[in-house]
A and B are shown apart, each in its own frame.
Chain A
Amino acid sequence: MTAGQPDRPSGEQAALDAVSADLRALSAATPPMPPELITRLDLALEAERTRVHPATVPVSRETSRRRWPRLVLAFTTGVVVLAGISVGVSALWRGQQSDERDTAASEPNAADPEIAAPDTTDEDAQSFGAEGSGTGDPKTTDKSDAQIYYSGRDYSRATLPEVGTSSTVNSSVDGDLTRLSADEAALGACFDAIETRYPGEVAVADFAYFEGSPSLVVRVSQVDGGGKVVAVGAACGLSGADELYATAA
């Protein structure tokens, strides 16, 4: 008699006992944890140790708080460069270049005119994105920093690995994603959640869509040398990464 079973006719009980036997047999056939999963868990735990005990573990990654100003700079720079091209005022901001070099002096590539762009608020940048379109890639001041795109592209599983190759900035951020686009802490928490799942660092992020759903599509450079492209939903960072889909980069 199986534990927890009320009295039953013998035939029915035999069938239930047979089910329990089937389940035990299936349990015995459970494959062991794959070695690659063991490695993955070890890496994730190490990343978590780094996150929680930054003072006692050598850290090479930046915190999201420090990273954020560069992310804003990357986006605003890209948009402003586009603005400069589309309205023919590039000479104007070249004239401001010397001042901007001072502002961005701490950044290794600050001398690059595309990096040392005039100050532009997020609102300015997004209103441009909403109204206009053009070409040009966001720039960053450090190769290790994430590049932020606002392509508005609707990615499929097949096209996800193309994240970061789009040269189009043609839409405002979908309303569902404004929590992430407007709040540095929220985006930082989202990156942290993604990097917890896929130990490494977010290298590219694109405010876009995945199979029709508003999505932040990111490319993660993993600590084991691999890469992942991950589409996450608008709840990213609230409770986990809100992962929609992931594939190898």
Chain B
Amino acid sequence: MAPVSDVNEVPDDELLRRHLVGDHEAFGELFRRHRERLWAVALRTLGHPEDAADALQDAMISAYRAAGRFRGDSAVTTWLHRIVVNACLDRVRRNKVRAAQPLPEGGPEPVSTEGDPSKVATNMAVEEALNALPFDQRAALVLVDMMGYPVSETGRILDVPEGTVKSRCARGRTRLAELLGHLRNPDADPVVPSTSPRADRRGESGT
């Protein structure tokens, strides 16, 4: 086993193997290595920091417990992303059941409010539009357009064929172009939902 000082150079699959043989630090190191990207996926997929935090914790515990079922068919990071996306989907379903409950007021915004005010406003509009998409389209766009993953890897994360990823991305982008049309052409009639996507997102986030 490599000394602690070399742990940063230990490959992901080796950390997972060490976890399975009882190395108490290995899984923590593995998760720390990827958690910022996993957090970003959860945050952008769910659109709400508290939900994203819950999903990320659920995913972390699931991965910890299910490590023995990792077969090595994909990269460890792909496997972790898949677990996070599934945890996000679980949370969307739960929230859908509880759609009648209003969101708490004053919740934190998942968009940084620092910087150019016009960019901040644009980002908030994009975020709201993104949250109005069905979950499958949103997840595909988050992984491909926001996180920059190749379509092939996104397909493995979402456990769907590449063609399905492409079609979800295409439909999602088309819908976003409609929703955000007013940002490009302020004189045109904006094609926006009749109600704020944020107000409805828990209820209409389809699966």
Contacts and interface: CB of A to CB of B under 8 A. Distances in A.
A34 B49 contact: yes
Contacts of A57: 24
A16 interface: yes
A2 B171 CA distance: 13
Interface string B107-129: 00011100100011011001100
Interface of B: 22, 24, 27-28, 31, 35-36, 39-40, 43-44, 49, 53-54, 56-58, 60-61, 64-65, 90, 94, 98, 101, 110-112, 115, 119-120, 122-123, 126-127, 130, 141, 144-147, 151, 165-167, 169-170, 173-174, 176-177, 180-181, 183-184
A110 to B, nearest CB: 37
Contacts of A24: 145-146
Contacts of B177: 12, 15-16, 18-19
Contacts of A16: 173-174, 177
Interface residues of A, number: 45
Contacts, number: 130
Contact of B110 (A4, A15, A31, A196): A31
Contact of B31 (A2, A31, A45): A45
Contacts of A26: 44, 111, 123, 126-127, 130, 146
Given A42-B28, A48-B64, 12 more contacts: A3-B169, A4-B166, A15-B181, A22-B183, A25-B119, A25-B122, A29-B111, A29-B119, A30-B43, A40-B57, A41-B57, A242-B94
Contacts of B65: 48, 52
Nearest to B109: A31
B24 A20 contact: no
A211 B98 CA distance: 11
Contacts of A85: none
Contacts of B120: 29
A18 B184 contact: yes
A190 B10 CA distance: 36
A56 B24 CA distance: 10
Contact of A4 (B126, B169, B183): B169
A29 B43 CA distance: 12
Interface in A86-123: none
Contacts of A61: none
